[in-house]
Every structure is written in structure tokens, then in C-alpha cells.
Amino acid sequence: MALYSYRFFSGTCREAMSRYQEIFGGELDVMGLGDMPPGEDAPPDLDPDFVMHAALTLPDGDLLMASDDPSGDGSPVRGVSIYFGASTIEDGERVFEQLADGGSVDMPYEEVFWAKRFGSCTDRFGTNWMVSVDHPTDG
């Protein structure tokens, strides 16, 4: 079984997913309207650069998927965050700083009672993130 998030952007999908690839690594595949095969009917009122589907396959095999929202309403996402579990404090700090760059910090990346480090931010694309380095479990 697999469970992945799928993010909708208002015209910034390609830029956002490229930024996430810079931060997390992995392989990015992007399909725009201009990539549709001949004979397929693309909505005539949409830009050929409109992203129909993008998938960032992370080095561990997880996926982050997205597209541009054809409604283009631009409303912020509410009540949802993407969680990144870092393996080290340093990696978590690097990721958090890069995600928060150009966005806003909701909770600083710091030691908390439930984790070695935790922080939440909203990136420049309006995506809410939680970055954590969990306490090791006693086995």
C-alpha cells in the first residue's frame, strides 16, 4: 500500500517542483499540455506550459506529485501540511531553511519535547511543511 500527497498549484507547479527537487534530490518528471500527443484535445484556453502532472521520485522511492489547478483560483491550502522526517538534525535544518526561504516560519526549527527537532513553515508557493527529527524509539 502507498499513500502520497498530491499538491495543486496556480501556475507555479513547474517552478515549485523544480525547487523541491533542488531541496530533496530525486528525479522529476513533468508533463505539460504542450507534451500531449497529437490528436489529444487540450483545453484551448490553457497555456501549453500548464502542468498536467508532475512527479518527483525521491531517493528513497517516495513520491511528491502535483499539477497546476485548472480553476486557477490561487487560494491557499488550509488544514494540510506535508511532513518531512529528516534522518539527522543537520539535514532537517538544511531542508527547513530551504523550504522557509521566501516563505514564512510558523514554528521555528528547534528542540521540542516530542522530537529532537521540529519546525513548521509555509514555503513561497503556499505549501505548508512540517520538518521533524524524531526521538529514537526504545526497542
Which residues of the chain form CATH 3.10.180.10?
Answer: 6-68
Higher pLDDT pick, 137 / 102: 102
Distance CA 15, CA 35 (A): 17
Query: In this model, does residue 132 exceed pLDDT 80?
Result: yes
82-134, CATH topology level: 3.30.720
Q: What does the pLDDT look like over 106-125, one tens digit per residue? A: 999 999 999 999 999 999 99
Label residue 90 by pLDDT band (50, 70, 90). Answer: very high
Query: In this model, does residue 14 exceed pLDDT 80?
Result: yes
Classify domain 6-68 by CATH number.
3.10.180.10
Q: Please, is 1 exposed, middle or buried when counting C-beta atoms within 10 Å of its C-beta (0-12, 13-18, 19+)?
A: exposed
Cα–chain center distance at 94: 15
Task: Return the pLDDT at 6.
Answer: 93
Q: What does the pLDDT look like over 43-77, one tens digit per residue? A: 666 677 889 999 999 999 999 999 998 776 767 67
Q: Which residues contact 111 (CB under 8 A, 6 or more apart)?
A: 117
CA trace torsion 73, 74, 80, 83 (10° rounding): 140
Q: What is the pTM for the complete model shown? A: 0.88
Query: In this model, does residue 139 exceed pLDDT 60?
Result: no
Which residues of the chain form CATH 3.30.720.110?
Answer: 82-134
